[in-house]
Structure 1
Amino acid sequence: MKIKSFLAKPFASIVHKNIKKGMLTAVADQQAIFKNLIKVGKSTQFGRDHKLEEVSGYEEFRQAVPVRDYEAFASYVNMIKEGKHNVLWKGVPIYFAKTSGTTSGTKYIPITKDSIGNHINSARNALLCYMAETGNHHFADGKMIFLSGSPELERVGGIPTGRLSGIVNHHVPRYLRKNQLPDYETNCLEDWETKLNKVVDETLGQNMTLISGIPPWVQMYFDEIIKRTGKPVGEVFPDFSVMVYGGVNFEPYKAKLLQSIGRKIDGIETFPASEGFFAFQDTQTEPGLLLNTNSGIFFEFIPEDEISKENPQRISLEDVQPGVNYALIINSNAGLWGYDIGDMVKFVSTDPYRLVVTGRTRHFISAFGEHVIGEEVEHSLMKAAREENIHITEFTVAPYVNEGEGKSYHEWFIEFDTFPENMQEFSEKVDVNLREKNVYYDDLIAGNILQTLKITPVRKNGFIDYMKSIGKLGGQNKVPRLSNDRNIANSLAPWTEKN
């Protein structure tokens, strides 16, 4: 046993025990965090604007602080950029996490001295829980790759600014630096294809034991490894035993990733974002991700059927129910208040509080009143794919509104790794699956208002070429599963099989 794995073993045991204790105090921990947020927040500009000094309980807080997205926060962020202190949280942020917005362009999410530990410790805890449960601590002695954004930071309003993964890169403990790949210079490369080739150059011949990243970009890395060596990834890296992933639902990518590896390995799923590290997989034996209930974030939840209302119902953790889709709202020691992060979650357990991410609040199709969400399309497609034993590389769905003769429908753009023998039969299976998952969609089909879905195959690497064309290849970028318009669908046209 080498020194790093030897030291990690008792540390993992201690952290794992503390996390299990925290499962029993989740609601109390949330209440304590809420009180501390109000205590600090009332002295800020935001606190004065919203009269937080008059807030003594959650009901008063809901009345004082409305739910908002980044656009509604932008004026406060601009104050910070102008050099003002105590705007959203005490002092000034130590970083801005730079991320893409839907309507606001670039977003600048504050990370404070108090909130940085949420990002760093949560990732660490996910690995330590895995160690403690499985006994696999040997990966700590090998090389680990984290496919991330550039660690080079610019300054915005005097504050170091960059991609979250690049910021976190600066906080990798010194004792793990020798284990980390790629090197700093390679990580700084902005062009994804150039970076990918350099990553492969550096990792071939190394004792890779852990690989981490967003699934579609990990798959690109695997593809290049196989292309160069002619061998499955698990044979190239015989000690590779753990894959850490997050950012998108793993299920659509699972079959092809495992096929590329060539053998079974363990996985650790995480739920990080620029706004916070919300949950992580704490066990290999139970479904769902453990909510981070004691890490500086007070969570709120809006039931799916309340989301579109002007004053939606908001509940705290103690009132959530399993099986219900909720919009996730956060209040944090980064200075985010009533902040809608845009993700939908569903609890699979409330003892402890474990959840799954079911989609994006802004990524849905309701062009005809069906309100189809990401969880439903992913389930429908992957169920059919498993039955047909085919692999899907990537996909997205958009409405097609027929303004002439004929009925409207959902158009599915799918890049197949292996094609179904009968595309029409496969399309019908996916449609039946979606009708079973969404009663509104079923009603529209049964009522002869919509025709059944149509599949438009996308050429090999078509989604990669599309992402490249819009300057979003690699890093933390991913293709939206659903759109309520034809913008992505129209942009994909050059890479579809019908062209």
Structure 2
Amino acid sequence: MGQGAALIGAGLRTMLARRTRSLSDLNHWGAGARRIQGEQLSWLVRHASETIFGRDHDFAGLFGEDSAGVVNAFRDRVPIQTYDDLLPLLSRMREQGEPDVTWPGLVRDWAQTSGTTSGDKFIPVSKEMLRHNRKASYDVFANAMRFGVDLPDVFSGKLLFLGGSTDVVENRHGVRTGDLSGIVTSLIRWPISAVYMPGKDIALMSDWPVKIDRMAERCLDADIRWIAGMASWSLVLMERMVELAHERGRPERTLRELWPSLRIFVHGGVKYTPFERRVRQMWSGSPDGDDIPTRLEVYAASEGFIAVQDTPGDPGLRLNLDHRIFYEFVPLEEIDSENPSAFTCDEVEKGQRYVVVMSTCAGLWRYIIGDVVEFDTIPPDGPPRLRIVGRHRHFINAFGENLIIEHIENAVVDALKTLPSDDIRIGEFTAAPVYPGEGRRAGLELAVEWEGDAALADRFSQAVDESLKSQNVDYGVKRSGDRGMAPPTITTLPLGSFHRWLESRGKLGGQHKCPRCANHREIIDSVINIGRGNNRPLNDVHS
């Protein structure tokens, strides 16, 4: 199959040549960002004008507006909305199979998203959205080529995708619900199916531990040249691969020895830097050694494929401007106000945190997806590029310390750099407030999967503390003096504790994430109890 598959890669390279040239025209995407986004919105309202939502909000009255006029008129007609705001209409579409509600026709596919502090949500995935998810996937291949990846070479081997772990369930109206990756996997056809791993039979398995074992067995002798998945779950597979090779008496001790032709790791869903040393360890044998030759980050959600890294080594992810999604960005401090400000991608400012709001070709309108971002590049200086810095409901501000996910993740990465690289392995982590009590000051607790010398936890705590102070003035003020917040408490847990916690909640699998922080102790106490064998009193640091 090698030569034939290489021809598939060559064909894909030819098919994407024009798109690759277009993506490389930075002036087009920078100077034209406002126009392109206005065109997306005009297309969306025109196609949804005869739906119940479109008639209720007079989408027909927007016809003929220019790119600036349509944005202003659209905002006047449609309020910013949460999932609960849209739920009555979405339920009619999914549960009753009602067509033409927020999007034309019957939306047959729905992505089930996992909540950490709230219940699951069901997100519409229309045929148009599937087409544009496919387009965004092709953009990943195009950007990989821009990074120097040779597609004929990659397609001479296998492409491994770590997706979700749920079957797609169909109701009596013909409406299907499942993980987005499960929906997409069921649509894979030749020629991609010829190089796709681990195969549909394993990809759609629901039992994640068994699934990891089956993937490891199938991929151990495969010529994997492309791997895509969340860094946290990809590491689980990588470690199982090396473990399986050892069990079978084989000499390989690194991923590079098992998959010498691996060219690229496409990842997203969680910040990569906390996992980088472990990936380097798995690839080269040393946490300070070589990394996988090429890494490319993506920002994909059930609501849409939002952004792709377009510059090697640059953490900024380039917004997908022409994928039938209209983006707005609401300042974080205004998101809970009655009439928050909203800005297009060319109106934002650097250094400001924004909550992402989307109107999509699946019938979500001015919908708050919950991610908080900052912009590194703002049109017309170049294509809009952003970084995910948190979730607008995931923060710690019990005592005015005002910490977000980015602060916690950066502090862990900074603290790791102060420790002997060969002595410590860090896995998942989460943070929460420590409430004051008798003989106990207010503070911060960080529960972290830890393998190595536990005596280094104090040094780790000091480094976390210094990093948080340097990142956040509010935290530094609250830590000053003898009556302020106490230094961070580090609670070490065995590797795998967080995945056992996810399993206990029925959330084990490739699309589920461990929350990095919360302004309450429900998550951290539950994780610690499971990590320590349910021996920890739940109320020892509660308010």
Say whether 1:292 aligns with 2:327.
no
Distance 1:467 1:321, change over 3 A: same
Change in 2 beyond 3 A, CA 1:43/1:101:
farther
Partner in structure 2 of residue 87 of structure 1: 101
Deviation at 1:5, TM superposition (A): 3.0
Equivalent of 2:403 in 350, 361, 372: 372
Given the alignment, which residue of 39, 47, 67 partners 1:32? Answer: 39
Indicate if the aligned counterparts of 2:418 and 2:460 stay in contact, CA closer than 8 A. no
Q: Which residue of 2 aligns with 1:153?
A: 168
Matches within 5 A, 1:131-170: 131-137=145-151, 138-150=153-165, 152-156=167-171, 157-170=173-186
The Cα of 1:119 is off from its aligned counterpart by 1.3
Whole-angstrom distance in 2 between the partners of 1:147 and 1:106: 21
Q: C-alpha distance in 1, partners of 2:84/2:162?
A: 29
Amino acid at match of 1:334: A
Equivalent of 2:83, from 66, 70, 83? Answer: 70
Q: Which moved more, 1:424-433 or 1:302-311?
A: 302-311
- The separation in 2 between residues aligned to 1:103 and 1:68, in whole angstroms, is 19
- Pair 224,337 (structure 1): closer, same or farther in 2 beyond 3 Å: same
2:114–2:507 Cα contact (<8 Å) kept: no
Q: Is the 8 A contact 1:130 1:283 kept in 2?
A: no
Unaligned runs of 5+ in 2: 247-252, 285-289, 537-543
Whether 1:491 and 2:495 are equivalent positions in the alignment is: no
Matched, 1:354 2:369: no
Question: Cα distance 1:411–1:386, how it changes in 2: closer, same or farther (>3 A)?
Answer: same
Contact kept in structure 1, 2:164 and 2:181, CA below 8 Å: yes
C-alpha distance in 2 between matches for 1:289 and 1:173: 29
Q: Distance in 1 between matches of 2:456 and 2:97?
A: 62
> Which deviations, in whole Å up to 9, do the C-alpha atoms of 1:236-260 show, x marking residues without a partner?
1111111111111111111101211
Correspondence for 2:434:
400
**Of 266, 272, 276, the match for 1:254:** 276
Matched residue type, 1:142 = G
Residues 218/59 of structure 1: CA separation in 2 closer, same or farther (3 Å cut): same
How far is the alpha carbon of 1:102 from its aligned partner?
5.4
**Separation in 2 of the partners of 1:102 and 1:74?**
19
Cα drift, residue 472 of structure 1: 1.4
Q: Which amino acid aligns with 2:211?
A: K
How far apart are the structure 2 equivalents of 1:132 and 1:432? 38
Q: Are the aligned partners of 1:151 and 1:167 in contact in 2 as well (CA < 8 Å)?
A: no
The 5 A counterparts of 1:8-47 are 8-21=12-25, 22-24=28-30, 25-47=32-54
- 1:202 maps onto 2:218 in alignment: yes
Report the 3-state secondary structure (helix = DSSP H, G, I; strand = E; otherwise coil) of the residue aligned with 1:422: helix
Q: CA 1:129 to 1:182, structure 2 compared with 1: closer, same or farther past 3 Å?
A: same
In the aligned structure 2, how far is the partner of 1:67 from the partner of 1:15? Answer: 33
After TM superposition, give the deviation of residue 285 of structure 1 in Å: 4.8
TM-score, normalising length from structure 2? 0.87
Q: Which amino acid aligns with 2:417?
A: R
* Deviation larger for 337-346 or 162-171: 162-171
- Distance across 1 between alignment mates of 2:212 and 2:126: 31
Aligned counterparts of 1:458 and 1:212: Cα–Cα separation in 2: 28
**1:353–1:45 Cα change, 3 Å:** same
Are 1:462 and 2:475 counterparts?
Answer: no
> How far apart are residue 360 of structure 1 and its match?
0.9
What root-mean-square deviation, in Å, do the aligned CA atoms of Structure 1 and Structure 2 show? 2.0
Letter in 2 for 1:90: P
In structure 2, distance between residues paired with 1:102 and 1:214: 17
Q: Which residue identity does 1:147 align to in structure 2?
A: L
Q: What corresponds to 1:479 in structure 2?
A: 514
**1:15, 1:111 → 2: CA distance?**
24
TM superposition shift of 1:104: 5.9
| Residue among 187, 190, 193 paired with 2:206 | 190
Aligned match for 2:71, one of 58, 82, 93? 58
Q: Secondary structure at the match of 1:174?
A: coil
User: After superposition, what is the alpha-carbon deviation per residue over 1:192-235, rounded to whole angstroms, capped at 9, x for unaligned?
Assistant: 00111111111111111111111111111011111122411110
Distance 2:37 2:214 in 1: 44
Identity of aligned residues (%): 30
Aligned partner letter, 1:478: K
Residues 130, 284 of structure 1: 8 Å contact kept: no
Indicate yes or no: 2:357 matched with 1:336.
Answer: no
Mapped to 1, the partners of 2:480 and 2:450 lie a distance apart of 29
* AA partner of residue 396 (structure 1): T
Count of residue pairs brought into register by the alignment: 499
Which range is displaced more, 352-361 or 443-452? 443-452
Does the 8 A contact of 1:151 with 1:169 survive in 2? no
TM-score between the two structures when normalised by the length of structure 1: 0.95
Asked if 1 retains the 8 angstrom alpha-carbon contact of 2:166 and 2:205, the reply is no
